Structure 1
Amino acid sequence: MDSRFLPARGPARSLTSATLFMTMGNGAFMTCSALYFTQVVGLSPARLGIGLSIAGLVGLLAGVPLGHLADRRGPRGTAAALVALNGVAAAGYLFVGSFVQFLLVACAFVVLERGGRAALQATLAAVLRGTELVRTRAYLRSVNNAGIALGALGAGFAIQLGSDTAFRVVLVLDALSFLVSALLLMTLPATAAAPAPAAGEPRLAVLRDRPFALVTLVSVVLSLYAVLLEIVLPLWIVRHTTAPPWLVTVLFLINTVCVVAFQVRVAKRVDDLPSAVTAFRRSGAVLLLCCLLFAVSSTGSPLVSGLLLVAGGAVHVYGEMVLSAAAWVVSYELAPPDKQGQYQGFFFTGYAASMMIAPVLLTSLLIEYGTPGWLILGAAFLLASLAMGPAVRWAARTRAHYFGSSSLPSTSLKGVS
């Protein structure tokens, strides 16, 4: 198979295959989950939303401690165990019959998902190095989008049938996808556990790392891009433009195809801290441009509005790919080699927090205030991208102070500005 879409045999191939199975199952379940919980389980939309919000809040607390567990027990085995348990939690939805049961299973599912993600990222850092690590992350993101799309397509048949059995079959396949992924993870090379913290060293050192916390905080602002396509643009197109509503599907297709086809190529250019800082700056300027294009799409004929939206969608996905590549490098390079689990857990907690606040924040800012809201968001993207340089430089300077003998693997700090 073309190497642009699948890495060579070895750890990278196994990780890619495991990700494909997980995302296909998740893509299928996410597509029909709202219908399953409201039509089959009998939850009201309001209770469903409240339960998912509570589960999301609980999940925010899981990444760091479970990532630390991966460091201490060995990331590969921990990742496989958490992914397998995530499959058990997915199967637990089959037996939900009340709101309380749904809440308990949803909390377990999200906690295991966040912990599994942190452990999986630590596994990547343990079995891969340098440019291969960054390239594999790009492969995983491409496969993630492809898997979700394939899963959603399969779920379409269940939605068309509309029966309880069809929805339950999707849940069973989702649970099995986690178990298959766990088995694939166990084919990776064994990974050693990190040594116990030295006397006086904090167990969760990331919670005392102020420079890394600042980098994560800045990334929260930049991560707001992720809900534009899924939540904001459908509402924007219907309420503020003359473009046809089906254009939302076109924008989703553009995004998915571009990530699958070009994410690996974009990531090849970002392989150390200096290039990551440059990529952050580029992504900020690009995301500002996409906000301007979306803003002016509220004017003109349906054709003009549609062309502006398509142009904005193309610019948006390029900024998304550049930003993702930069974030991967920074999150790995600034983490001590023996604490990758807790650091990746903390960094992803920032992303998860952004996803929690973004729907309310951006629908209020963009749908209620219109064009001025887009200008504010674009300026926020640009300023955050410019702030990432000083934040990364501070974090790079303080690695020895925080972590003693820990150093930045294969990265020269020269040129980080």
Structure 2
Amino acid sequence: MTDTAAPPAAPVTGPGRRFYAVGLSDAVGLGMYLSLSVLFLDQAAGLSNHQVGVVLGTSGVTSLLGVMPIARAAERFGVRTVLTVLFAIRCAAFLGLSAVGSFGQALLAAAVAGLLSRGIGPLIESGLISRVPDGQAVGALARMRTLRNAGMAAGAVPSGAAIAGGEGWAYRSVLLASAVLFLCCAVICRGFPADAVAPAGKARPRRAGILRNRPFLFLTALYGAFTLSALLLGIGMPLWIVQRTQAPAWSVTVVQLLNTVLVVALQVRLSRGTERLPRARTLMFRGGLLAALGAAVVPLTALGGGGPDLVVVVAAAVLLSLGELLIVAGCTGAALLHIPKGQETGHLAAFNMGFAVTTVVGPSLIGAGVDRAWAGWTGWALFFAALGLIALRVPAPRTPERRLGPEESPTASAAVAG
């Protein structure tokens, strides 16, 4: 599945390292919060189940509302300024969240935190790829995703300790630690180069440019549909394991661990070569087929007991995880080919909206599929297989597929393509 002809992206040095540092620190802080958010609102803040659902749902909705305004602000004022302000606000929101004692306070703090949650990532990504040659942008983003997945996993460790203790002060201490990490991110952002992504006063890309970029919008929608496979693994599999199989309950942790290990180990490697559209199409196609196969395997748990069920669960988790890796690599590579130079911030924000919308509408669809047992999993298998076939028809960009960076020569580019 790998492309050995494609060279790995060169490590980012100098100011570019700051983007990785911010991405990692941000992921650790978010991992700490996401691992205990439900139990914090229940045990420490004393909210009812209905109130917990409203708070988390509101945070999800506000996250969609903030994406494009944040991107437009970055295009006008620059990534460095906007990220610094956003992390300072996020720090304040988490300080407030750690001290909440009522439904109203929790709702306000979660809404503010959610408003920023989907907008920060694209800004970090656009700033990062502005520091590397265009042919290495996919590898740089893959490395960032690897770091962020590792950071999210690391953030779950202190959260697990707080959950084990079960004390309100422990929950609040974890949120305070998250706030401190976000403050550190703001400080690091102050050291970003001023030209990381230049303010758009000189050549301000208009939002209408994204709306007219139909191939890019097609890819954004395709990416959003494809990422239902990630939610199927994160939501559908745990529900199926505890409700419909004889596999041990700790299988849920095994599924999560397998996914994290595979992402950290393979994301960068599988992203190589996706700066070429044929390679990106192939990865999306293969990813769709792997996701389809993973979904089709799940109902086989009806044939065995605890041991065989565990084997089926592990096999399905590996297939879905590999499918997710190929899908993300292929979609990201193809999307970057359709983003005009200098308009990365707004386009990356719009691209991430595909996944953001999926996280809002996807859980109910997946829950309904689990309720329909084998018929639901078969439907998902057919769905992902169809997406894989559609991915083979992704249109080519109007501009040349691979724009050369300052360190690359036409001869070297032709050698790689060959």
CA drift of 1:173 comes to 0.7
**Contact 1:336/1:408 (8 A) holds in 2:** no
Does 2:298 align with 1:298? no
Deviations 1:189-228, CA, capped at 9 Å, x for gaps:
3222234568xx8444323433322221122210101212
Question: Which residue of structure 1 lines up, in the alignment, with residue 184 of structure 2?
Answer: 180
Instruction: Give me the whole-angstrom Cα distance separating, in 1, the residues matched to 2:125 and 2:76.
Output: 14
Letter in 1 for 2:386: L
Question: Which residue of structure 1 lines up, in the alignment, with residue 386 of structure 2?
Answer: 383
Q: CA RMSD in A?
A: 2.6
Of stretches 129-138 and 173-182 in structure 1, the one that deviates more from structure 2 is 129-138
Instruction: Give me the whole-angstrom Cα distance separating, in 2, the residues matched to 1:101 and 1:263.
Output: 39
Question: Which residue of structure 2 lines up, in the alignment, with residue 148 of structure 1?
Answer: 152
Question: Residue 361 of structure 2 is aligned with which of 357, 361, 367?
Answer: 357
**Contact 1:14/1:188 (8 A) holds in 2:** yes
Question: Which residue of structure 1 lines up, in the alignment, with residue 41 of structure 2?
Answer: 37
Question: Residue 218 of structure 2 is aligned with which of 209, 214, 218?
Answer: 214
Question: Which residue of structure 2 lines up, in the alignment, with residue 331 of structure 1?
Answer: 335
Instruction: Give me the whole-angstrom Cα distance separating, in 2, the residues matched to 1:286 and 1:410.
Output: 33
Question: Residue 193 of structure 1 is aligned with which of 199, 202, 206?
Answer: 199
Does 2:378 align with 1:372? no
Instruction: State the SS of the aligned residue for 1:268.
Output: coil
Work out the percentage of aligned pairs sharing the same amino acid.
Answer: 31
Question: Which residue of structure 2 lines up, in the alignment, with residue 273 of structure 1?
Answer: 277
* Structure 2: tracts of 5 or more residues without a match: 1-7
Instruction: Give me the whole-angstrom Cα distance separating, in 1, the residues matched to 2:81 and 2:388.
Output: 36
Letter in 2 for 1:140: M
TM-score normalised by length of structure 2: 0.88
Question: Which residue of structure 2 lines up, in the alignment, with residue 108 of structure 1?
Answer: 112
Q: Structure 2 vs 1, CA of residues 203 and 236 (structure 1 numbering), >3 Å: closer, same or farther?
A: closer
Q: How many residues align?
A: 398
TM-score normalised by length of structure 1: 0.88
Question: Which residue of structure 2 lines up, in the alignment, with residue 251 of structure 1?
Answer: 255
Instruction: Give me the whole-angstrom Cα distance separating, in 2, the residues matched to 1:298 and 1:130.
Output: 49
Does 2:351 align with 1:343? no
* Structure 1: tracts of 5 or more residues without a match: 401-406
Letter in 2 for 1:333: L
Q: Structure 2 vs 1, CA of residues 327 and 32 (structure 1 numbering), >3 Å: closer, same or farther?
A: same
Question: Which residue of structure 1 lines up, in the alignment, with residue 318 of structure 2?
Answer: 314
Instruction: State the SS of the aligned residue for 2:194.
Output: coil
Does 2:235 align with 1:231? yes
Does 2:60 align with 1:56? yes
Question: Which residue of structure 2 lines up, in the alignment, with residue 404 of structure 1?
Answer: none
Deviations 1:209-259, CA, capped at 9 Å, x for gaps:
333222211222101012123211111112222222211111111111111
Question: Which residue of structure 2 lines up, in the alignment, with residue 21 of structure 1?
Answer: 25
Does 2:249 align with 1:260? no
Instruction: Give me the whole-angstrom Cα distance separating, in 2, the residues matched to 1:277 and 1:77.
Output: 36
Question: Residue 121 of structure 1 is aligned with which of 116, 121, 125?
Answer: 125
CA drift of 1:352 comes to 0.7
CA drift of 1:261 comes to 1.6
Instruction: Give me the whole-angstrom Cα distance separating, in 2, the residues matched to 1:325 and 1:362.
Output: 23
Instruction: Give me the whole-angstrom Cα distance separating, in 2, the residues matched to 1:301 and 1:129.
Output: 53
Letter in 2 for 1:261: A
**Contact 2:64/2:353 (8 A) holds in 1:** yes
